[in-house]
Amino acid sequence: MTDDNLTEKAIEYITALFRDNADGHGTDHTLRVYKNAMRIAENEPGCDRELIALAALLHDADDRKLFHTENNANARAFLAENGVPEGRADRICAVINTVSFSQNRGKVPETLEGKIVQDADRLDALGAVGIARTFAYGGKHSRPIEGSVRHFYDKLLLLKDLMNTETGKQLAEGRHAFLKAFLKELEEELEKERDAETAAGSGGEAS
């Protein structure tokens, strides 16, 4: 069971925290991760749904790309202000700390709740949404198309095989296939553009 009032407060908190964020790590991303997590949790009997909900909603509250906090300070402040016991806050933060791809390469979360939230976050890096987020982040940080495409190979195309739960694996399949189809189309279009530029350059030299 989840405390709907606490969940609503967490949504209000992250909405204010991520106001004006446009690099793919804002409120919309967090809410999708939350919905993904709750969808996966439905198929995982025995999981702590409230812990999953709060960890999903607060998973980027101290993201080092966005904030200069230590020891999950923003998440802990919210939890303390809303009467969550310290021990439970520790468990929520432990799940949050398993989410980051860059900080958890080769590591599998020890708890079922950690596996669920990690899968939920990774699902949002796949499919059409994952593509949109990649280029939104790239644009915000002046990264050229080639740099964003490299990110697909460095991270996104690896995620399907790193899913922890059966539901996560099933949901990742179609999204992974969409990434591959997009990259194929993008490469074909860029190749045609390069060929056209080469032809135009050759024609100019001949004249």
Q: In the chain, what are the domain boundaries?
A: 4-206
pLDDT, position 104: 77
Tell me what percent of the chain is helix, strand and coil, each rounded to the nearest 5.
Answer: 70, 0, 30
| Architecture per CATH, 4-206 | Orthogonal Bundle (1.10)
pLDDT (tens, 9 = 90+) of the chain, 207 residues, equals 456 799 999 999 999 998 877 665 689 999 999 999 999 999 999 999 999 999 999 999 998 888 889 999 999 999 999 999 999 999 999 999 999 887 878 889 999 999 999 999 999 999 999 999 999 888 888 888 888 999 999 999 999 999 999 999 999 999 999 999 999 999 999 888 776 767 677 665 544
The residues near 118 (Cβ < 8 Å, ≥ 6 apart) are 98, 99, 104, 109, 164
CA 74/CA 143 separation, integer angstroms:
29
Q: Which two tokens stand for residue 50?
A: 């409230």
Query: Could you tell me the maximum CA-CA distance found in the chain, to the nearest angstrom?
Result: 78
CA 131/CA 194 separation, integer angstroms:
23
Of 65, 63, 82, 83, give the one whose Cα is nearest residue 73.
Answer: 63
* Residue 17 · residue 61 · CB < 8 Å: yes
pLDDT, position 22: 64
pLDDT, position 1: 42
